[in-house]
Amino acid sequence: MFRNIYYGWFIVAAGLLIISLDGILLYSFGIFVPYLEESFDASHLEISSLITIRNIFFAFSMIIAGRLIDKYNPKYVIFIGGLTAVIGMFLTASADNLWELTLSYAVLPGIGNGFFYIPSLAIISRWFNERRALAIGIATLGVPISGMIINPLDAWLISTVGLESALIILSLIILSILLCAFVMRRAPETEINNVTKVVSPPVESEDDTSMGVMEALRTKSFWVLYLIFFLGMNTFLIILINLFDYGIESGIDPLTASGAPAALAFGSIFGRLFFSGVLTKYINNKQVLFTSYFLEALSILIIIYFQTVWAFYLFGFLFGFFYSGHMPIFPTILSQYFGTKNIGSIMGVSATGFSLASITGPLLAGYLHDTSGSHYNEIILAAVICFITAASTFLITTPKRGEAAT
């Protein structure tokens, strides 16, 4: 039945599920924030700093995972690395103080999370050429799909079985999905020779066109893309971490408020397919980045001026739709500009922009909240940063071999 299906699409399906683990960890954080503050008698800044600590370890983990995926069997790299996140979530249920919470809910999931997203995208990039943006767009649907499901599920679990039991159930869900790692294969050539015996699509030559990691880091193009990714992730993290709490602050009950980040995830599903599968046929990748960032910034104005249920749900859908426009484009541009031979390592380095954003975004937002007593100024900050990000896309240029960043 499946013999004539190109194995790359099985890689995409497995990648979607594995990447969904990144979404589970990311989206759950915003739901758990107010309950963790209450359970540990902690300030908003103290709990927000957990995402910062998590993503510092996430940054190093992505670099390591990227290098490992370029050299070793990806199924073992992803599964063994991901177990760290499972153990961390399980131990969080029994944490008694902020030190234990930091280790179990920030450090261990941060290390494990690095083995979900980047390795999956790097492998998919090797299996596709002309349809790379679409394949990556489909796989990255794992983040919004998991976010759409996990937000109301978390809120329901906490209200019915309590915070500790919800964390244990969440760790078991992550473990079961992690088994999809055993579907992953390193390269099309390996699969063709050993299993499927089908013809792969043309892949990029890895000798003349692919850059090494250090060569890519010496180009201006890499650092412009890095800056854009960093700024964009500031906006995303500020919104994601505070949207649920901002809804409660605006007078919406918790279960209803959880629908706003779920709407964000729902919108992202359609956005990824539209931008990567449709819009890229008519405009280039740089134009896709500008369009998605600019419209994303405009969508934030909805909850700046309106604090009603319909406004939060409409914003969630639109923000998710436009945010998803640039997520598949970054790995696509990196593969286009720097080749696929060392793409795991290059993606691992570039993705540390997310970790740096988790330092600046949540901490600054937490400070604004604790000093003003409201999430309103945080939302304004997110919009301003997003408009700056959109303008920065005009700085993107195609790299040249031997180019030195100055």
Q: Within 13 Å and on the Cβ side, how many CA atoms surround 280? A: 26
- If you average pLDDT over residues 36-47, what whole number do you get? 79
pLDDT band at 87 (very low <50, low <70, confident <90, very high): very high
Asked whether 223 and 405 are in contact (CB, 8 A), the reply is: yes
Is the per-residue pLDDT at 314 higher than 70?
Answer: yes
Lowest mean pLDDT among 11-15, 301-305, 344-348: 344-348
Q: Please give the residue that has the higher pLDDT: either 196 or 131.
A: 131
Mean pLDDT of all residues in the chain?
80
- pLDDT for residue 172 is more than 90: yes
* Most confident by average pLDDT, 2-6, 44-48, 101-105, 278-282: 101-105
d(C-alpha 103, C-alpha 53), whole Å: 9
Which residues fall within 8 angstroms of residue 194, CB to CB, at 6 or more apart? none
pLDDT confidence of residue 385: 93
> In this prediction, what percent of the chain has a pLDDT beyond 90?
11
Band of pLDDT at residue 318, cut at 50, 70 and 90? very high
| 166 pLDDT higher than 70 | yes
Q: What is the pLDDT of residues 203-251, one digit of tens each?
A: 444 444 677 778 888 888 888 889 998 998 899 888 877 888 788 878 8
Of the pLDDT bands very low, low, confident and very high (cuts 50, 70, 90), residue 401 is: low
Q: Give the least confident one: 167-176, 257-266, 335-344.
A: 335-344
Q: What domains can you pick out in the chain, each with its CATH number?
A: 7-395 (1.20.1250.20)
Section 126-143 average pLDDT:
77
**Residues whose CB falls within 8 Å of the CB of residue 240, separated by 6 or more in sequence, listed in order:** 26, 27, 29, 30, 261, 264
Sign for the pseudo-dihedral over CA of 308, 141, 289, 350: positive
Task: Kindly state the tokens that stand for 335.
Answer: 């593969």
- Of the pLDDT bands very low, low, confident and very high (cuts 50, 70, 90), residue 48 is confident
pLDDT band at residue 192, thresholds of 50, 70 and 90? Answer: very low
* Three-state helix/strand/coil letters over 187-236: CHHHHHHHHHCCCCCCCCCCCCCCCCHHHHHCCHHHHHHHHHHHHHHHHH
What per-residue confidence (pLDDT) applies to 202?
45
Helix, strand or coil, per DSSP, at residue 373: coil
Residue 83 to residue 74: CA distance in whole angstroms: 14
Residue 86 has pLDDT above 60, yes or no: yes
pLDDT grade, residue 187 (50/70/90)? low
| Res 53 pLDDT > 80 | yes
pLDDT attached to residue 201:
46
Q: For the residues 369-398, what does the mean pLDDT come to?
A: 86
Instruction: Categorize the per-residue pLDDT at 277 as very low, low, confident or very high, splitting at 50, 70 and 90.
Output: low
Q: What percentage of the chain has pLDDT greater than the value 70?
A: 90
pLDDT for the residue numbered 197: 40
pLDDT band at 389 (very low <50, low <70, confident <90, very high): very high
Instruction: Identify the residue with better confidence: 132 or 227.
Output: 227
The answer to whether residue 333 scores a pLDDT higher than 60 is yes
